[in-house]
């Protein structure tokens, strides 16, 4: 079987061979997994990719639809499932209006599923409430890219460009542990002489690889970039001709940076000023430099502004549109890039069109065969949908490819809300924490079973072919949505014979939009093995490197923006004296629904934990391995104590992959970024104590 790993945005290609073991008395098959070369991974796989087949073959997979009867989920047929859902949607909309039904999607779904989720919500449900878990992954970088460059593509360059960089800044991204197969690009850059700077409150595989680690206080990334900008301006390291020819806003930025107090800002960031000077100087003096951000910078209540400030660094030094020079948002989810382009966002239509723009509405309405006026307006972001659920405005919710109870901040509040729903439908491979609450559960196909396109972190579209028959009665997302649309009376607009049919419509819907897929076809994808967007015609090669001559704004210029120093809204105090920051481990993916069911991954990290600095642990009377209680203003969890000098003394780290009593999002702050509506996952204030006090 050939496939692509579903567990991150690199989309490494793999071959899985099944063989029998005659000597095994239980006749269990053996699986051998090997990486296959594709343009991004060059044949490498990390530990997640090596074990990704295990969840797809798990005996815990859901094999048939189930409905809750007398409090228990019982097997039903697909026909019954469709009838129940359709009746519930009709009753909800008749009694409470069209917007009483919402849809919550996922950033791991294929482009075709993402497209269909948006179309289903706007055409079959005619509801404005749709958003998805990608809001927590990419919204800050997406808004920043759109506003700064006029386009949101994760990497402005191909991965191959990295090797030409003289300096690389990795801000809030732990590539060594989250996208390990990308590390050889950075190793080769280093061998070519690149100076690597890593920004992270923790010591990680990435910071150890770097030449310089700026161990920033959680939430202070934008301020750190301000200090580096000040040094770059002071030392005359800007690129005046690039700024004059290709950007707007320099005077405002210059005035803002001139007012930055370096000592005070270094103190705010908790980083020695000498190190800030060293980083800024190396970045500004490099003949070509790249800056990458990820969730460390982005999952903040000023995530949009923080990313803008790292883009400011690239732009004032003239680092765009050439080999080894550019910006990249290192996407986390398997289809983090494509999932955000085709209309499953609250304010978006396919091709990255705006749902509020009359021309965009008219274009998409024409393709969908509906009147523009029939399309609903803008909805709200993922966490705000959970608030609408709580308030009773959304009364029926369909969840596809997501586990919102574990992935949303303020998770106890979210769970309370979902329990209040009149009806919750969850389509998943497993009985996730959210599916356990559902009134109706639908089994869906795994990455080995469904076909479709995914867009990797470079903006390169890849085709993943199906290599196995569906498990049990599991169905493809697109088939479920099409069948439901038919039952709801919109069948003629969802009469697809194959997933390729959906892609053909998506191509046209994206034509002329920011994310233009028009020139990409399945036939080309099979032949060329990946094509970058924008690709406006079938003879266009795709754009590997953006902005060589102009940015995507109408005047061709990028936009600089003054970014104020910002303190996270929740600060430590005597009741909650430590910062909590959250993140990933090398072995798990998102809320762990799939990786916790892959034996080879679960065995490596069987439970959650909290990392504390040795001095902090001593002060609190904590020993390594004992259980501790972590509490914030919103909830509490119990996890095991790990003691490591790799974390700041004022900070605790807890990974995000577990639910129930280990769910770190019971603690996190639901305050949202005012521009992109990203929650501030990366910093809140907590109290830590031993579970058993002696
Ligand atoms: Fe590749 Fe990412 Fe899968 Fe690892 S998790 S094998 S880096 S796609």
* Nearest residue (CA) to ligand 1, atom 6: 49
Q: What is the pLDDT of residue 175?
A: 95
Classify 155-329 by CATH class.
alpha beta
**Which residues, at least 6 apart from 619, have a Cβ–Cβ distance to it below 8 Å?**
none
CB 439 within 8 Å of CB 423? yes
Atom of ligand 1 nearest to the CA of 10: 8
Distance CA 103, CA 105 (A): 6
CA atoms within 13 A on the CB side of 128: 16
Which residue among 3, 4, 5 is best mutated to probe the pocket of ligand 1, counting the most ligand atoms within 8 A of its Cβ? Answer: 5
Q: What is the mean pLDDT of residues 219-240?
A: 98
Q: Which atom of ligand 1 is nearest to the CA of 4?
A: 8
Task: Report yes or no: 351 and 514 within 8 Å, Cβ to Cβ.
Answer: yes
pLDDT in tens, 90-102: 999 999 999 999 9
For ligand 1, the distance from its centroid to the CA atom of residue 403, given in whole angstroms, is 21
pLDDT of residue 39: 77
3, 43, 46: residue to mutate for ligand 1 pocket, most atoms within 8 A of CB: 46
- Rounded to whole angstroms, what are the CA distances from 418 to 128, 321, 435, 439, 659? 19, 46, 11, 11, 15
Mean pLDDT on 264-286 = 98
Distance from Cα 196 to the centre of ligand 1, integer Å = 22
Q: What is the mean pLDDT of residues 317-338?
A: 94
Q: Is the CB of 180 under 6 A from ligand 1?
A: yes
Distance from Cα 37 to the centre of ligand 1, integer Å? 13
Q: Residue 23: its pLDDT value, please?
A: 80
Does 181 contact ligand 1 (Cβ within 6 A)?
yes
Would the CB of 406 count as within 6 Å of ligand 1? no
pLDDT for position 370: 97
Average pLDDT, the chain: 96
User: Domain residue spans in the chain?
Assistant: 2-56, 66-135+337-532, 155-329, 578-690
Q: Which atom of ligand 1 is nearest to the CA of 7?
A: 5
Tell me the C-alpha distance between 5 and 443, whole Å.
Answer: 20
Say if residue 534 is preceded by a cis peptide, omega within 30 of 0: yes
What pLDDT is stored for residue 316 in this prediction? 98
DSSP state of 514: S
Which strands form 2-4's sheet, in the order they lie side by side? 2-4, 13-20, 29-36
pLDDT value of position 327: 97
pLDDT tens sequence across 278-301: 999 999 999 999 999 999 999 999
CA-to-CA distance for 318 and 594, rounded, in angstroms? 42
Tokens of 371: 């009147």
Q: Are 514 and 345 in contact (CB under 8 A)?
A: no
Ligand 1, atom 4: nearest CA belongs to which residue?
46
Higher pLDDT, 514 or 603: 603
The CATH code that applies to domain 66-135+337-532 is 3.40.50.740
Q: Classify residue 541 as exposed, middle or buried by CB count within 10 Å of its CB (0-12, 13-18, 19+).
A: exposed
Atom of ligand 1 nearest to the CA of 49: 6
Taking the centre of ligand 1 as the mean of its atom positions, its distance from the CA of residue 110, in whole angstroms, is: 16
Number of H helices, E strands in the chain: 23, 30
Task: Answer whether residue 105 shows pLDDT above 90.
Answer: yes
Q: Which CATH number fits domain 578-690: 3.40.50.300, 3.40.50.11890, 2.160.20.10, 2.40.40.20?
A: 2.40.40.20
Q: Mean pLDDT over residues 492-498, rounded? A: 95
Q: Tell me what pLDDT residue 423 has.
A: 98
Please work out whether the CB of residue 179 comes within 6 Å of at least one atom of ligand 1: yes
User: Does ligand 1 have an atom closer than 6 angstroms to the CB of 46?
Assistant: yes
Provide the Cα torsion 216, 219, 222, 227; round to 10°: -40
601 ligand 1 Cβ < 6 A: no
Give the list of residues 6+ apart from residue 417 with CB closer than 8 angstroms, or none.
386, 387, 389, 390
Q: What is the CATH number of domain 2-56?
A: 2.20.25
Task: Write the residue with the smallest CA distance to atom 7 of ligand 1.
Answer: 179
What are the structure tokens assigned to 96, written together? 């409470």
Could you tell me the distance, in angstroms and rounded to a whole number, from the CA of residue 46 to the centre of ligand 1? 5
C-alpha–C-alpha distance, residues 12 and 136, integer Å:
23
Ligand 1 centroid – CA 47 distance (Å): 8
Output the CA 11–ligand 1 centroid distance in Å.
6
User: Taking 70 as the threshold, does the pLDDT of residue 694 lie above it?
Assistant: no
Torsion on CA atoms 418, 420, 425, 430, rounded to nearest 10: 40
Å from CA of 50 to ligand 1 middle: 9
Structural element, H or E, at residue 583: strand 578-583
The response to whether residue 335 sits with its C-beta less than 6 Å from ligand 1 reads no
Tokens of 476: 């493809």
User: pLDDT above 70 covers what percent of the chain?
Assistant: 100
For the CA atoms of 88, 483, 351, 339, what is the dihedral angle to 10 degrees? 80
Mean pLDDT across 403-424: 97
Residue 22 has pLDDT above 80, yes or no: no
Average pLDDT over residues 518-539: 95
C-alpha 58 to ligand 1 mean position (Å): 20
Yes or no: say if 269 and 306 are a contact pair by the CB < 8 Å rule. no
Q: Give the pLDDT mean for 151-163.
A: 95
What was the ipTM of the complex prediction?
0.99
- Dist. CA 293 → ligand 1 center (Å): 18
* Residue 529 pLDDT: 78
């Amino acid at each position: 079987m050939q496939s692509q790993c579903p567990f991150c945005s690199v989309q490494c290609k793999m071959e899985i061979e099944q063989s029998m073991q005659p000597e095994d008395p239980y006749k269990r098959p053996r699986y051998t997994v090997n990486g296959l070369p594709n343009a991004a991974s060059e044949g490498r796989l990390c530990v997640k990719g090596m074990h990704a087949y295990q969840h797809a073959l798990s005996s815990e997979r859901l094999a048939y639809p189930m409905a809750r009867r007398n409090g228990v989920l019982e097997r039903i047929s697909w026909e019954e499932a469709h009838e129940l859902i359709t009746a519930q949607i009709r009753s909800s909309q008749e009694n409470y209006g069209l917007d009483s039904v919402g849809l919550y999607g996922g950033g791991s779904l294929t482009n075709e599923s993402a497209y269909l989720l948006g179309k289903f919500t706007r055409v079959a449900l005619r509801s404005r409430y749709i958003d998805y878990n990608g809001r927590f992954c990419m919204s800050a970088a997406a808004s920043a890219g759109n506003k700064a460059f006029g386009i949101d593509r994760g990497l402005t360059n191909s991965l191959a460009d990295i090797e030409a960089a003289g300096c690389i800044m990795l801000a809030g991204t732990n590539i060594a542990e989250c996208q390990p197969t990308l590390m050889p690009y950075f190793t080769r850059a280093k061998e070519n002489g690149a100076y690597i700077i890593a920004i992270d409150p923790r010591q990680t595989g990435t910071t150890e690889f770097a030449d310089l680690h700026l161990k920033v206080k959680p939430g202070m990334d934008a301020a750190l970039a301000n200090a580096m900008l000040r040094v770059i301006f002071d030392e005359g390291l800007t690129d005046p001709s690039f700024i004059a020819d290709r950007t707007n806003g320099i005077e405002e930025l210059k005035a803002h940076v001139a007012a930055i107090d370096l000592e005070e800002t270094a103190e705010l960031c908790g980083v020695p000023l000498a190190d800030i000077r060293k980083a800024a100087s190396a970045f500004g003096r490099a003949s070509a430099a790249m800056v990458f951000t990820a969730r460390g910078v982005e999952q903040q209540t000023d995530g949009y502004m923080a990313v803008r400030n790292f883009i400011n660094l690239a732009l004032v030094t003239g680092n765009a549109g050439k080999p080894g020079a550019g910006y990249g948002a290192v996407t986390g989810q398997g289809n983090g890039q494509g999932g955000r382009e085709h209309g499953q966002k609250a304010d978006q239509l396919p091709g990255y069109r705006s749902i509020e723009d009359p021309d965009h509405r008219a274009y998409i309405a024409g393709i969908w065969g509906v009147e523009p006026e029939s399309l609903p307006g803008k909805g709200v972001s993922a966490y705000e949908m959970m608030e609408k659920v709580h308030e009773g405005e959304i009364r029926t919710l369909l969840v596809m490819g997501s586990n919102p109870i574990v992935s949303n901040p303020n998770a106890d509040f979210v769970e309370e809300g979902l329990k209040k729903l009149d009806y919750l439908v969850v389509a998943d491979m497993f009985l996730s924490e959210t599916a356990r609450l559902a009134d109706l559960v639908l089994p869906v196909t795994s990455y080995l079973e469904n076909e479709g396109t995914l867009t990797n972190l470079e903006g390169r579209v890849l085709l993943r072919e199906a290599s196995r028959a569906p498990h049990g009665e599991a169905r493809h997302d697109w088939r479920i949505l099409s069948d439901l649309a038919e039952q709801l009376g919109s069948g003629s607009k969802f009469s697809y014979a194959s997933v390729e049919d959906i892609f053909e419509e998506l191509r046209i819907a994206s034509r002329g939009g920011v994310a233009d897929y028009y020139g990409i076809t399945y036939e080309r994808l099979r032949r060329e093995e990946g094509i970058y967007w924008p690709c406006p015609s079938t003879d266009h090669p795709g754009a590997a490197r953006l902005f060589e001559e102009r940015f995507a704004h109408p005047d061709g210029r990028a936009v600089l923006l003054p970014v104020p120093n910002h303190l996270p809204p929740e600060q430590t105090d005597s009741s909650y004296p430590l910062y909590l920051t959250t993140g990933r481990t090398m072995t798990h993916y998102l809320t762990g629904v799939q990786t916790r069911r892959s034996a080879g991954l679960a065995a490596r990290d069987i439970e959650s934990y909290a990392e504390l600095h040795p001095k902090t642990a001593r002060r609190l009377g904590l020993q390594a391995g004992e259980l501790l209680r972590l509490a914030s203003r919103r909830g509490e969890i119990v996890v095991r104590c790990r003691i490591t000098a790799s974390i700041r003394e004022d900070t605790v780290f807890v990974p995000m992959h577990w639910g129930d009593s280990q769910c770190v999002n019971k603690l996190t702050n639901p305050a949202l970024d005012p521009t992109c509506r990203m929650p501030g996952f990366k910093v809140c204030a907590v109290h830590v104590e031993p579970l058993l006090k002696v």
